[in-house]
Structure 1
Amino acid sequence: MGVGVVDVAADLVWHLAWGVAGLLLLVAVWVFYFVWWTPRRLERALRAQGLDGTPYRFPRGDLEESARLDREVQAKPMPLSNNIIPRVYPFSHRAMNRYGGKIYFTWVGPVPEVTIADVGLVKQLLLNMSTDFEKPQLNPLGQFFFRGMFIYEGEKWAKHKRIMNPSFHMAKLKQMFPVFRTCCDDLITKWENTVGSGTCYELDVWPDLQAYAINVISTAALGTSYEEGRRVHQIQTQQLVHFVQAGQALNIPGSEFLPTEGKKRIKTLNREVGELVRSIIKKRQEDIKSGKASNNNLLGSLLESMMKGSQQDGMTIEEVIEECKLFYFAGQETSAVLLTWTMILLSMNPEWQDRAREEVLRVFGENKPDFDGLSRLKIVTMILHEVLRLYPPLTYLPRYTYKTIKLGDVTYPPGVLLRLPILFLNHDPEIWGEDASEFNPERFAQGVSNACKNPQMGFFSFGGGPRICIGQNFALMEAKMALSAILQRFSFELSPSYAHAPRIVLTIVPQYGAPLRLRRL
């Protein structure tokens, strides 16, 4: 009997050993295919067509070198200048100079990333991307942070755009305008109480402009309270930290199933923000049914779609939640960074601050800005477009080849990441002239279409083609409203403690905040 037990145990150990050996063999084959053989094959295919770029480094590609350069430039501020590319994207800046031309490739882990800075090719790609390209799904954790229209393709994207578009027409924005003005009044009142009369007060405007943007999104677009919106923002900020950290790690197929602490935390935060948004939606539904609220905003349109009951025509509750989460982040971040960099650049260029103030006072006098008057602010609009050009909230657009695609003279095999560098194009002297990195709103005096040498595709800070940002009118009206009210009541200049340090954290943010000196007028 004892010998039999020993024999059975020996058999179990033997089979277990073979099972482990087989599993290790599968892992080895998997790693060899995805992290060694496939990158080498793709690199050969790109170089055979004349493209140049960094050699593939097993297994992390250029991630480590890129992170090292980021740490190096972020260790100290830069001079007061709008030539921000070397600090915001030091690795890409070096690669472009090293490999020349408008097209080159680098590596995001084992995935080749081809940067395309040719305006004609960018236009072609943007116009055809809905049929020939798809958004990349390189980081599986992105599903917990960026969903909704940001990642949808094909019919689903078209349906969501069709449902959401009316919420951003000028007629709907006019209905929301009183709420915009109330949010702006809250900001101005806070600053007036803080600054005092006849004094010069140093204030970091970045957190307050974030709060203003959260207030507008919460109350005007979603019909909820600032406090609820602030809580959503706090959770999403924590998600962003973990998301950026995860993006610096090696991501290969299957790695999303590894249960790291960071991934567990992201999933927990995703559930938390999802339940918070769900409660906001439920309360909004009850208020609409009881007549306490209307559907004249984004959330109202989404709920109206959901209540149609048809999956073909409307959204599910989960889809509404994801669109609200996306708009909370994207809408707040875009407006806050636009206003912050506008105040910084007007502090650096006081002559344009004076010109903008003169226009605002000519249109509104001492009265609060009104909806119709905002459309007559030509100088203010020129300034905002120039800030969007120099410090675009969206610095690049990624696309992924899921099949063999010919673009220009190059045929791209499946599995290649294409990067459209908005920031680089917005600073390109061939497109904007030799003063491309200078703050010159005058270039937009004849409108966006005549601002650069290529009127069809030179300025796409809100994207381009069929997937251009549907919220751009919302963001611009929000910015015009706040900037007009600020110019009416305050003059501002850079504080001696201000350190110019643009940094990329999905959007371009001031690394050390935006301390300015404000004076009541």
Structure 2
Amino acid sequence: MVRSIYDILETLKDMETSLFSVAEIMWFSFGCLLVILLAKFTIAIWWKPLQITKHFQSQGITGPPYKILFGNTLEYAKLINEATSKPMKLSHDIVARVQPYYPYWSKIYGSTFLMWLGPIPTLVVGGSELAKKVLGDKKGNYRKPKWNPVMKELLGEGLVVLDGDKWAHHRQIINPSFHTDKLKDMVCCMVESTVNMLEKWEKVVKNGEKEVDVAQECKALTSDVIARTAFGSSYLQGKHIFHLLAQQMSLASQDNAKLIVPCYRFLPFKRNRERWRLNKEIKNALKELIIIREKAGTNTSQGYGNDLLGSMMKTIQELRSSESNEGLTIEEIIAECKTFFIAGQETTSNYLTFAIVLLAMHPDWQEQARSEVHVVCGNCHPKFETLNKLKTLGMILNEVIRLYPPAVGLMREVHKDTTLGGIAIPKGAQVLFPMLSLYHDTSLWGEDANEFKPERFSEGISKAAKYESTALIPFGYGLRSCVGQNYAMLETKVALVMILQRFSFVLSPGYVHAPTSFITMFPQHGAPIILHNLHSDESTV
């Protein structure tokens, strides 16, 4: 009995020793793991940036000093906040307000310099020829950079976000929706939406108010047009969905600066909760529309419809029926519907807004454009075939998009070690082209680069700049050029023709010149104008 108790005590002692050994091993393993993670973290935020800085310095490329973890993000945000905190004089010299980091740092470090977006090295390159080379790359050296999580949530896995084979597959499906025959069919939708807007303007003038904010009016117009062209018979549902998307986009813009706070997007703040709710509601509404179209396409003689959604789903079905058997999932179709709105509505809305603002600022060009419209279109609604005959209007729109491009910068991630313009760039770095600054560059466009002179495009885009035939590439270049660029130009021309036929306009005394940028450039404080009805005693156009 005594022996057995002794044996039990010895066994317990051995177990205690064993347990202590296991605990020690676990703590040792945890310590090793912590050291490894700390080492990797230190390498990522200190040692690697130090080596990359030396790599570029050896090639004569310098830039603002790297700050651990944040890079130059805080300085970049400070420059933006200071520039947008106050309006500017009525001038087209807008680079210092919209893209302040480039004139500030390029004066110190040269036209090509290295800056840091967090721990990510970003080579800022001055030169549209090099931008064309990057956009036209077919070797896979450059890819789209990763979008921040909030913007990724907004856009989904759509054409704007994708790269590589997946992008090529989506592009193949989207392209037929923007063929010439499809665009011709869309003109009537664009005209109908514009008629509705102008009828509202006529009531404003008749009531003696005369002032409208064209920034808001153009948003409403382009949203209406994209709802009609994207969803056709489901137009009202489309308008509701796009209204929700506009709210989600507004929340994303408000939270953009806060993304430098780790895990911010996961915290249950009021705006985050609202963003999550909107995202869920938008997805459910689009999914319902897509399922209805799928049933209609397979069970009725009407097919999928002639709108953008119907055209896309028809192409998807054809691919599913072919040998490749590759279509898109419902989630991917939802992402492309979001892209229709965000890329189509925002770009065209701001393009049209600035076109009206610049014509209000330059009444001589407004009158020249109106005279041309009168000769080519008379008082009739514009037709697809006549719009290309409007040479003066085309020159004006080229100058508008040069001075106020929707996309102010162009960025790509270096997918493998490469050389650009004689500079060796390591894999993982980003290349940023400040396109707005390039479009205002006096060495490229002349001493009058900041002046509104549409005549510089009298011989076309290729001869407008001093020495670069592709100095103006607002819709991208090569395979990655914007699939909807002809749609945007067509919609802008239709709206401007109909506005010029009915109204003359000047800037309101309350107009504040404050262009700024989030995704696309827009007037920060709106764009109020004063309208005068040219045919107040005649029937409407």
TM-score normalised per structure 2: 0.88
Contact preservation (8 Å) 2:376, 2:389: yes
Measured in 1, the distance between the counterparts of 2:265 and 2:213 equals 41
**Pair 1:484–1:287, CA change in 2 (3 A):** farther
Q: Does 1:348 align with 2:361?
A: yes
Write the deviation string for residues 39-61 of structure 1: whole angstroms up to 9, x where unpaired: 11211111111112111111211
- 1:203 counterpart residue number: 212
**Equivalences for 1:39-118 in 2 at 5 Å?**
39-100=49-110, 102-118=111-127
Q: 1:59 to 1:455 in 2, by over 3 A?
A: closer
For residues 16 and 519 of structure 1, the distance between their equivalents in structure 2, rounded to whole angstroms, comes to 80
Q: Which amino acid aligns with 1:338?
A: Y
In 2, Cα distance between the equivalents of 1:166 and 1:228? 21
- Structure 2 residue 194 is the aligned partner of structure 1 residue 187: no
* Residue equivalent to 1:260: 267
Partner of 1:124: 133
Partner of 1:315: helix, strand, or coil? coil
Task: Write out per-residue CA displacement over residues 203-236 of structure 1, whole angstroms, 9 at most, x where no aligned residue.
Answer: 1111111011111111113323155334334334
Show the 5 A alignment for 1:127-138.
127-128=136-137, 131-137=140-146
CA distance in structure 2 between the aligned counterparts of 1:411 and 1:512, rounded to whole angstroms: 42
Question: 2:20 and 2:151 mapped to 1: Cα distance?
Answer: 46
Mapping of residues 42-441 of structure 1, within 5 Å = 42-100=52-110, 102-128=111-137, 131-137=140-146, 139-146=148-155, 147-196=157-206, 199=208, 201-223=210-232, 224-226=234-236, 228-242=238-252, 245-246=255-256, 249-250=259-260, 259-261=266-268, 266-288=275-297, 289-291=299-301, 295-308=305-318, 309=320, 312-441=325-454
1:456 to 469, 485, 494: 469
Mapped contact 1:490–1:518 kept (Cα < 8 A): yes
CA offset at residue 130 of structure 1?
Answer: 5.9
Amino acid at match of 1:324: C
CA contact (8 A) 2:226 2:345 kept: yes
Distance in 2, matches of 1:258 and 1:483, equals 40
Contact 2:129 2:471 in 1 (8 A): no
Aligned to 1:479: 492
CA–CA separation in structure 2 for the residues paired with 1:40 and 1:26 = 20
- Give the root-mean-square deviation of aligned CA atoms: 2.8
CA drift at 1:512: 0.5
Residue identity (%): 36
Where structure 1 has 5 or more consecutive residues not aligned to the other structure, the ranges are: none
Q: Provide TM-score, normalisation by structure 1.
A: 0.91
Deviation per CA, 1:468-512, whole angstroms, max 9, x where unpaired? 111111001100111111111111111111000011111111111
Instruction: Report the alpha carbon displacement of residue 405 of structure 1 after superposing the two structures with TM.
Output: 0.5
| Equivalent position SS for 2:260 | coil
Separation (CA, whole Å) in 2 of partners of 1:348 and 1:414: 46
- Deviation of 1:456 after TM superposition, in Å, equals 2.9
Contact 1:141–1:256, Cα closer than 8 Å, also in 2:
no
Give the aligned residue type for 2:291.
K
CA distance in 1 between partners of 2:17 and 2:154 (Å): 53
Asked if 1:509 corresponds to 2:514, the answer is no
Q: How far did residue 285 of structure 1 move?
A: 3.4
Whole-Å separation in 2 of the counterparts to 1:315 and 1:221: 17
Q: CA deviation digits over 1:439-472, x for unaligned, max 9?
A: 1111111222222123532000111121111111
> Structure 2 counterpart of 1:260, which letter?
L
Cα distance change on mapping 1:158 and 1:495 into 2, 3 Å = same
Distance 1:312 1:227, change over 3 A: closer
Q: Distance in 2 between matches of 1:474 and 1:217?
A: 10
Which secondary structure does the structure 2 equivalent of 1:150 belong to? coil
**Do 2:251 and 2:275's aligned partners in 1 also have CA atoms closer than 8 Å?**
no
**Matched-pair contact (CA < 8 Å) for 2:475–2:485:** yes
Q: Hey, what does 2:35 align to over in structure 1?
A: 25
**Long gaps (5+) in structure 2:** 1-7, 535-541
Listed one character per residue, the Cα deviations across residues 419-458 of structure 1 (whole Å, up to 9, x for unaligned) are 1221111111122111111111111112222221235320
3-state secondary structure, aligned to 2:171: helix
Number of residue equivalences: 516
What's the CA shift for 1:23? Answer: 5.7
